[in-house]
Amino acid sequence: MARRYFGTDGVRGRVGDPPLTVDFALRLASAAARVLAPEGGTVFIGKDTRLSGYLFESALEAGFVAAGVDVQLLGPLPTPGIAYLTTRVPDSFGVVISASHNRYEDNGIKFFDSSGGKLSDELEERIEEEVDQPVITRQSNFLGRARRADALREDYQRFCAASVPGGLDLRGMKVVIDCANGAGYKVGPRLLASLGAEVIPIGCSPNGRNINDGCGSTSPGFLQLTVPGVGAAVGIALDGDGDRLVMVDHLGRVVDGDQLLYLIACDRQDSGTLGGPVIGTLMSNYGLEMALKARGIGFHRAQVGDRYVLGLLKETGGVIGGETSGHILCLDRTTTGDALIAALQVLAIMVRTGRTLAELTAGMSRLPQVLINVRVAQRFDAAAVPEVAAVVAAVEQELAGQGRVVLRASGTEPLIRVMVEALDDDQAQQCAQRIAQAVKSATPPAAG
């Protein structure tokens, strides 16, 4: 079935343009109630700090209450926090209002089931089938109740702290955390402070419009300046909804998701707790694959998207997986990608070994990788266009097995992503530009 609304990470788009309207959010809540809670239940609704989060929160609350579902309103809380809370209450599910790393003009709505995992394709399709039905309004004695549940933020904070066996003492460590003016701006600094760290928060002053704006995991430049500037041991950068992580070492150098994945996997191997292969994606740097192979650690690639990484982890019996962008899944600690939990794993390794982040990641060398995002009027299969395919084939022949080409449509934005890896940065840049130009030339006009 071709899905109309759900992409790789829920429903996402520009606020005010279909489907990101109040009317749709109300109908989506009613449809989700029919599918996920036909006999009633509890839904946890969390959000990031976008101004539009208030209107979608109100619309979803109304739809669920009218359908007989009790609502717990969590306010700003990282996406994995909502996933965790759904596991604590029987017959519950979670809803997150966020467009993750996108700018404030966008927003999105995604769901978690009672096990703390994202909905299956089948459940999302069933919800889509119900979206065009009239909104349910039950009689007064069957309506749900809505409550503010901000205090549950502390439950999530304690859960994160407990993700390090034996506890974690960060006394004497100076840490800079950039919360992207997003969902983690309260819980992130408080969590680190509760563990004894000297915390310097940046990107923790949301105004509804500055989420992901020159800050966070997608724009860590200021963090790179701040960490060595204040003499911090490490920097932590979240994205707008708190499920992506990149870090900065004491020298001000970015440590991306591939390097963090390598570090955590090697530590689990050393402790004898690494089960199954490590799972990356088509976009994971080839240097990660080579470094893991040198350690005797298996490595598989999933489609881009943390839901696909999760699926392959479960299929292969793995516990550690993630994406270059910073989605890190530690299934031996939680059910979904969690930036704060991943960061604590890294901090625990630093404390236990007495080594800097720079030293710990020295065993992995990244191949030069160039990523070009080609904005298009509408998504299309660029690889199926003969002119584009011919350029890709020529580039692959030029790389001669010493690099990679990945060409894919974004699942959340109208972009075609062109990625080239090569032994030489100039070669990677030139090859990527050639493919990107072919994609631009092949882009179909906007529908309508």
Phi-psi category of residue 231: left, alpha or beta, with phi > 0 → left and psi -120 to 50 → alpha: left
Cis-peptide into 19, omega within 30 deg = yes
Residues 424, 407: contact at Cβ < 8 Å? no
User: pLDDT digit string (tens) for 93-137?
Assistant: 999 999 999 999 999 999 999 999 989 989 999 999 999 999 999
Going by pLDDT thresholds of 50, 70 and 90, the confidence category of residue 166 is very high
Going by pLDDT thresholds of 50, 70 and 90, the confidence category of residue 208 is very high
Please state, in angstroms and rounded to a whole number, the distance separating the CA atoms of residues 79 and 359.
31
**Residue indicated by tokens 């660029």:** 382
| Amino acid, res. 26 | L
Task: Determine which one of 98, 100, 114, 325 is catalytic.
Answer: 100
Task: Tell me the mean pLDDT in the region 236-248.
Answer: 97
Please state, in angstroms and rounded to a whole number, the distance separating the CA atoms of residues 443 and 448.
15
Residue 403 clears pLDDT 90, i.e. is over it: no
Give residues with Cβ within 8 angstroms of 3, minimum separation 6: 121, 124, 125, 128
Question: In which residue ranges of the chain is CATH 3.30.310.50 found?
Answer: 369-442
Tell which CATH classification among 3.40.50.300, 3.50.50.60, 3.30.310.50, 1.10.300.10 matches the domain 369-442: 3.30.310.50
Backbone angles phi, psi at 217, to 5 degrees: -65, -25
Please state, in angstroms and rounded to a whole number, the distance separating the CA atoms of residues 323 and 417.
15
More confident residue, 239 or 404: 239
Confidence (pLDDT) at 2: 67
Going by pLDDT thresholds of 50, 70 and 90, the confidence category of residue 444 is confident
Q: Which two tokens stand for residue 432?
A: 């990527």
Task: Tell me the mean pLDDT in the region 150-160.
Answer: 95
Residue 448 clears pLDDT 70, i.e. is over it: no
Min mean pLDDT across 68-77, 88-97, 400-409 is at 400-409
Going by pLDDT thresholds of 50, 70 and 90, the confidence category of residue 446 is low
Residues 43, 134: contact at Cβ < 8 Å? no
Taken in order 427, 429, 435, 441, the sign of the CA dihedral is negative
Confidence (pLDDT) at 423: 87
Nearest C-alpha neighbor of 336 from the set 361, 302, 356, 311: 311
Neighbours of 113 (CB within 10 A): 18
Computed over every residue of the chain, the mean pLDDT equals 95
Question: In which residue ranges of the chain is CATH 3.40.120.10 found?
Answer: 6-150, 156-254, 255-360
Please state, in angstroms and rounded to a whole number, the distance separating the CA atoms of residues 119 and 235.
33
Going by pLDDT thresholds of 50, 70 and 90, the confidence category of residue 447 is low
Q: Which two tokens stand for residue 305?
A: 């998207």
Confidence (pLDDT) at 378: 81
Give percent above pLDDT 70 in the chain. Answer: 99
DSSP letters for 336-366: S--HHHHHHHHHHHHHHH---HHHHTTT--P
Please state, in angstroms and rounded to a whole number, the distance separating the CA atoms of residues 55 and 52.
6
User: pLDDT digit string (tens) for 308-356?
Assistant: 999 999 999 999 999 999 999 999 999 999 999 999 999 999 999 999 9
Confidence (pLDDT) at 57: 98
100 is catalytic: yes
> What is the radius of gyration, based on Cα positions, of the chain?
22
Edge-to-edge strands, sheet with 299-302: 299-302, 278-281, 320-322, 328-330
Topology (CATH) of 156-254: Alpha-D-Glucose-1,6-Bisphosphate; Chain A, domain 3 (3.40.120)
Give SS3 for 201: strand
Terminal C-alpha separation, the chain: 23
By DSSP bridging, strand 106-112 and strand 10-14 are: antiparallel
Q: Which two tokens stand for residue 124?
A: 């999302």
Going by pLDDT thresholds of 50, 70 and 90, the confidence category of residue 402 is confident
Give SS3 for 113: coil
Please state, in angstroms and rounded to a whole number, the distance separating the CA atoms of residues 269 and 297.
8
**Residue indicated by tokens 């839901």:** 307
Topology (CATH) of 255-360: Alpha-D-Glucose-1,6-Bisphosphate; Chain A, domain 3 (3.40.120)
Q: Which two tokens stand for residue 255?
A: 């440590």
User: pLDDT digit string (tens) for 1-13?
Assistant: 568 999 878 999 9
DSSP letters for 399-443: HTTSEEEEEEE-SSSSEEEEEEEESSHHHHHHHHHHHHHHHHHHP
Backbone angles phi, psi at 364, to 5 degrees: -120, 125
Topology (CATH) of 6-150: Alpha-D-Glucose-1,6-Bisphosphate; Chain A, domain 3 (3.40.120)
